[in-house]
């Protein structure tokens, strides 16, 4: 089934290239091209992006800091990524808006749900920065929350692997891939760390399916939007 409106969840690493930090122009170009392809098919796109290419809460230095301060730094990193992606998309003629959960009017709109939906209806991409605006919540939770708020039909979780496995496929050759998982199974499988429990709970309660897929496969976002079998689908 084709999706009309989606929420795309990206890790900060999607902008940094393989094994790097910061922003890699080639990675941003690839990502913008993939999103452009989906946009041209008439899909309304909301995006939540992480900040792990700049700052991670589990870094040794971050762990020594006050948690709230460290999380606020992570939120700022997501806004930097949102602005970089916005620039790449607008260079392709795609109208894009960045909305921040933390007020910073000089560079981004404040997050207002009705305004975000209005942008989507008008054919603009909306990138949601600064997570939920609250410490102690991940950008996965922000993605699930925004997906519900904008009434997205599916949450697409872009990763480095082509789905969910019973163990790390990078370390174990006999790792088994799941084509489909229920929310219940995904929650009880501790080794399956796709999204945090809060994000799963939001999607489960509001019946928002999650598709986990490999972003490095050209056309993967488009295939997921079309409902083609790709990655792992987590749903009721």
pLDDT reading at 235 higher than 60: yes
pLDDT reading at 118 higher than 70: yes
Closest by Cα among 31, 157, 159 to 96: 31
For residue 192, CA distances in Å to 144, 177, 229 come to 18, 11, 20
Q: How confident is the model at residue 115 (pLDDT cuts 50, 70, 90)?
A: very high
For residue 122, CA distances in Å to 45, 68, 152, 165, 196 come to 11, 36, 15, 38, 32
Give pLDDT, residue 21. 85
Give pLDDT, residue 172. 83
Looking at the chain, the whole-number percentage of residues with pLDDT higher than 70 is: 96
What domains, with CATH codes, occur in the chain? 5-235 (3.40.1160.10)
For residue 220, CA distances in Å to 5, 35, 103, 134, 167 come to 16, 10, 33, 31, 22
Give pLDDT, residue 190. 59
Summarize pLDDT for 6-30 with one digit per residue, the tens.
Answer: 999 999 999 997 767 899 999 999 9
Average pLDDT over every residue of 79-94: 97
Average pLDDT over every residue of 115-136: 97
pTM: 0.93
Give pLDDT, residue 1. 53
Summarize pLDDT for 137-193 with one digit per residue, the tens.
Answer: 999 999 999 999 999 999 999 998 888 888 777 788 888 888 999 888 887 775 566
Give pLDDT, residue 209. 95
pLDDT reading at 47 higher than 80: yes
Burial class (CB in 10 A: 0-12, 13-18, 19+), 149: middle
Summarize pLDDT for 36-45 with one digit per residue, the tens.
Answer: 999 999 999 9
């Amino acid at each position: 089934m084709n999706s009309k409106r989606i929420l795309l969840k990206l890790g900060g690493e999607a902008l940094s290239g393989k094994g790097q930090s910061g922003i890699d122009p080639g990675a941003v170009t690839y990502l913008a091209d993939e999103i452009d392809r989906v946009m041209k098919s008439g899909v309304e796109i909301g995006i939540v992006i992480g900040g792990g290419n700049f700052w991670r809460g589990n870094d040794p230095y971050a762990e020594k800091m006050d948690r709230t301060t460290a999380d606020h730094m992570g939120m700022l990193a997501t806004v930097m990524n949102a602005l970089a992606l916005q620039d790449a998309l607008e260079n392709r003629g795609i109208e894009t808006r960045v909305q921040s959960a933390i007020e910073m009017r000089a560079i981004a709109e404040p997050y207002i749900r009705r305004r975000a939906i209005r942008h989507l209806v008008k054919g603009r991409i909306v990138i949601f920065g600064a997570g939920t605006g609250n410490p102690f919540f991940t950008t996965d939770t922000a993605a699930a929350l925004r997906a519900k708020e904008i009434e997205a039909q599916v949450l697409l979780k872009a990763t480095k692997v082509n789905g969910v496995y019973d163990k790390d496929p990078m370390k174990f050759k006999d790792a088994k891939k799941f084509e489909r998982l229920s929310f219940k199974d995904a929650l009880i499988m501790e080794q399956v760390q796709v999204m945090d429990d809060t994000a799963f709970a939001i999607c489960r309660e509001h019946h928002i399916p999650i598709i986990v897929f490999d972003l490095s496969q050209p056309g993967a976002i488009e295939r997921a939007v079309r409902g083609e079998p790709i990655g792992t689908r987590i749903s009721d």
